[in-house]
Amino acid sequence: MVPFSVNRFRSFLILLFISTAILLAGFVYKNYEKLPGSVTMDFNKDGVDIGIKNFRLVDEGDGKRRWELEAEQAMLMSQDTTKLKDFKVTFFQPGKKNVLLKADAGIVKNGKKVMEATGNVVVVNDDYKLESNKLHCESDTKIVTTDDFVRITGKNFKVTGKGMVSDLNKEEMEILENVEMTIYPRNND
């Protein structure tokens, strides 16, 4: 039996600490681009809130990216709800143009696959730009709605109104009230 030695135990702990530090440094170096900017935890009366700065999340299916979310900050409020600050989502659509949604803030209800975007909401692709103060998006049904003012502009048109329902599956959109449309003549360049 080997007698217990404090010096041997210290040496073992130092060796273990150095080995762990080297492994951790190697992991961080290899995965630096994938790591969040910082993580904060706040304990409050409702439980634990976790905040991640420079948040990035990619959804993939069948080997293809479906969407990519980037936010200045993401705060996990519960198992099912995440708050976003200054975020953008890029939707990748096979055979179609990508769509970018940006907003000042948002709430994602993970279990229901619902997102609420608020404050300077912009949805844009190569053909049009939609602006509003808030949008409600349901992932399963692909229905996008708002009861706020909406402005949609394209290369030769502008539509404004209050309230909107859009069915992305059918590629249909309805402006509900106070609809005004302007069509500009095309330039034959």
pLDDT score at 17 = 56
pLDDT: which is higher, 131 or 99 = 131
pLDDT: which is higher, 33 or 117 = 117
Say if CB 26 and CB 40 are below 8 A apart.
no
Residue pLDDT, tens place only, 54-64: 888 887 777 77
Residue 25 has pLDDT above 60, yes or no: no
| 86-112 average pLDDT score | 85
pLDDT: which is higher, 177 or 126 = 177
* pTM metric for this prediction: 0.69
CA distances from 164 to 112, 160, 177 (A): 21, 10, 8
